[in-house]
Chain A
């Protein structure tokens, strides 16, 4: 007994925190991805062997399915290599650089997000304060989101192009179109969230509408605003990518996706997809960081 390790086993110590379980899930996902890649790419690989009259072993099959040039499902390491090549090993001014394409998409995402957020807040303020605006605007706000963005995006691009507006603005308009909606809906709810007792309190001070808005409604709406901004920034990116599809694949992550699918470059598609996901995740993290800063300044219990 004297030589044995005291205390919990390595396994239980590893799994007691968060790192252990998160790693396990991550590893499981990678294993699943590799297994998927082998099974999905195997038929074409076996076809290739048969046409070349080649004999093959299982280990050779696995090795080859994970190293195809145009696999149906590329293996993680292939995507990682492609991403390394196009992000770090390529000059960012090059048209082959994912950093360049990400920036193109990000610039219209941020512009659209900015305009969409302002538009969303302005609409919500109007809806909350003017009875007729609620009746007249709200149905349009909701029905605007029932139109598939894929259907309306090319029209926006074409119409704006016809009056000479090209480049970043049409894509930002599509982002705006998507992202004002959650902001409006959340802000209407947030601006109406003060309790009756708090509104009565402002009334006893004979506060003006503007003072009530500034001192009570807007601060009450902040948690609602940030929740909607996290959704808005992510779908704003989706809007920008969709906006890049009908422009003939000039630049941007959407263009990379489209070009990749034209030429069956699945590795390129997956690299662009993962990069888009990463960019979206980073922006959500940044919004979350702003949220914590603002709410901490507002004295919210940590």
Chain B
């Protein structure tokens, strides 16, 4: 590579050089027996390093699909997407992200510790290192002491925390979370939201978080992406400037209520286009 090429490459790099996820004009159409379904259409989005981005919208707006495209669990049918500068497939092969599903999806025949070490085993990391990292990850989600328990011995919230520990165990910089607390009651959810924020503040990871709860989205995020269905598209992107270390009390502040109001307006506008 000549010096000129290097200089050119540098010049061609995206404006924000710390973009983790860069999406341009992305679309995804599912071909079904009833004709094409436009799951995503004309999506443009940049997620920067250290961002906590929430995707919010009614069901069918493509928020989960978008997360799955980022994770290379679905393939986009149009547009460009890059993760850390490479294709989603390469990013997945590099194990660039940890994914937390709607359900814990723990393997019932493995203890909590062995569930957390599962990705490490697949990545062929030594046993000693696996156990060390599992303990660290379980400590982050406050599940230390439950290593030898089996999933059925834990409550739903604890199981979901274990699945977050599993996603953290291999220390990917990007965390993709698909309605991880959707099935939990509000008290447990508040608690886990607080824990998640602390964890994010401590580890400086980039988080993409799908939710259908407005308070959850506003409370957690640095950037809220409001989406609308048929076709799935982004209708508003709201940046918030709450401090990284925040507690549940901010939900009573005027700023919080104002942002929540804007999200609600966005969701309503998206709907009225439709009906």
Contact = CB atoms under 8 A, between A and B. Distances in A.
Contact of B122 (A207, A219, A298, A300): A207
Given A197-B105, A299-B150, A204 B122 contact: no
B92 A206 contact: yes
B122 A205 contact: yes
Contacts of A215: 107, 118, 121-122
A198 interface: yes
Given A204-B71, A205-B122, A205-B123, A195 B105 contact: yes
Interface in A225-257: none
Contacts of B111: 299
Q: Is the interface of A mostly helix, strand, loop or mixed?
A: helix
Contacts of A219: 107, 109
A203 B73 contact: yes
B119 interface: yes
A13 interface: no
A26 to B, nearest CB: 37
Interface string B99-121: 10111010111110000001101
Nearest to B101: A197
Nearest to B108: A299
A47 interface: no
A57 B73 CA distance: 86
Contacts of B121: 215
A200 B73 contact: yes
Nearest to B148: A299
Interface in A14-67: none
B122 A200 contact: no
Contact of A206 (B95, B102, B103, B107): B95
B275 interface: no
A198 B105 contact: yes
B73 A205 contact: no
A201 interface: yes
A293 interface: no
Interface residues of A, number: 20
A168 interface: no
A299 B109 contact: yes
A222 B110 CA distance: 14
Interface residues of B, number: 25
B93 A201 contact: no
Contacts of B97: 204
B30 interface: no
A201 B92 contact: no
A219 B110 CA distance: 10
A201 B73 CA distance: 10
B73 A300 contact: no
A301 B152 contact: yes
Contacts of A301: 150, 152
A211 B107 CA distance: 14
Contacts of B71: 204
B92 A300 contact: no
Given A204-B99, A205-B123, A300 B109 contact: yes
Contacts of A298: 108-109
Interface string B48-83: 000000000000000000000001110000000000
A216 interface: yes
A206 B93 contact: yes
B95 A205 contact: yes
Most chain B beta-carbon contacts within 10 A, residue among A201, A298, A301:
A201
Nearest to A198: B105
Nearest to B120: A205
A248 to B, nearest CB: 50
Contact of A198 (B92, B99, B107): B107
A204 B166 CA distance: 12
A211 B119 CA distance: 11
Contacts of A202: 122
Nearest to A207: B122
A222 B71 CA distance: 30
Contacts of B119: 205
A286 B152 CA distance: 28
A300 B151 CA distance: 10
Interface string A75-100: 00000000000000000000000000
Contact of A299 (B72, B98, B99, B110): B110
A14 to B, nearest CB: 37
A16 B8 CA distance: 87
Contacts of B105: 195, 197-198, 201
Interface in A177-224: 195, 197-198, 200-207, 211, 215-216, 219, 222
6 residue pairs, one from A and one from B, having the closest CB atoms = A298-B109, A299-B150, A204-B99, A197-B105, A205-B119, A205-B122
Given A204-B92, A299-B152, A300-B108, 6 more contacts: A195-B105, A197-B103, A198-B107, A201-B105, A215-B107, A215-B121
7 contacts: A204-B97, A205-B123, A206-B95, A215-B121, A215-B122, A219-B109, A299-B150
